[in-house]
C-alpha cells in the first residue's frame, strides 16, 4: 500500500511524487493502492501526484486505485474531470469525512 502524507500541497508535491513512484516500482503484485486516509491538508497538487502515481503504475502493468480519498478531494477530481482515473480501492469506499478548508 502506498501511503500519502497528512499534508500534500504544492510544496510537498515533487518529493511525494518521487517517493510514491519509487514505492510503486518496488511494490510486489499487480495492483498499486494509494492510501489517502491520512490526508488532512491538500490542494490540487494532490491530484497531480495521484495521477502521476497512476501513470507509473499503469506503465508497469499494474492497476491503480485509491483508498479513503477525502470527499473534498474527490469533488475536486470530479470538477477537473479526472475522478474516473482515481477509482476507489476494492472493499474501500471513499471517505465520507469532510476536510477543513
Is residue 45 within 8 A of residue 9, CB to CB? The reply is: yes
Report the pLDDT value the prediction gives residue 27, as an integer from 0 to 100: 87
pTM of the predicted protein model: 0.86
How many whole angstroms separate alpha carbon 56 and alpha carbon 42? 21
Instruction: Compute how many other C-beta atoms are within 10 angstroms of the C-beta atom of residue 72.
Output: 16
Beta-carbon contacts of residue 45 (< 8 Å; ≥ 6 apart): 8, 9, 10, 12, 13
Report the pLDDT value the prediction gives residue 8, as an integer from 0 to 100: 96
Query: Angle between the 45-59 and 10-26 helix axes, to the nearest 10 degrees?
Result: 20
Per-residue pLDDT tens digits of the chain, which is 101 residues long? 899 999 999 999 999 999 999 999 998 999 999 999 999 999 999 999 999 999 999 999 999 999 999 999 999 999 999 999 999 998 754 443 333 43
Report the pLDDT value the prediction gives residue 92, as an integer from 0 to 100: 54
Residue ranges of domains in the chain, CATH in brackets: 2-85 (3.30.750.24)
Amino acid at each position: 500500500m502506498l501511503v500519502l502524507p497528512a499534508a500534500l500541497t504544492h510544496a510537498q508535491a515533487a518529493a511525494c511524487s518521487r517517493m510514491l513512484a519509487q514505492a510503486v516500482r518496488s511494490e510486489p503484485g499487480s495492483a498499486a493502492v494509494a492510501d489517502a486516509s491520512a490526508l488532512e491538508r491538500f490542494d490540487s497538487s494532490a491530484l497531480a501526484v495521484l495521477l502521476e502515481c497512476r501513470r507509473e503504475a499503469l506503465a508497469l502493468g499494474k492497476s491503480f486505485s485509491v483508498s479513503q480519498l477525502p470527499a473534498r478531494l474527490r469533488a475536486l477530481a470530479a470538477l477537473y474531470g479526472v475522478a474516473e482515473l482515481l477509482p476507489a480501492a476494492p472493499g474501500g469506499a471513499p471517505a465520507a469525512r469532510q476536510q477543513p478548508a
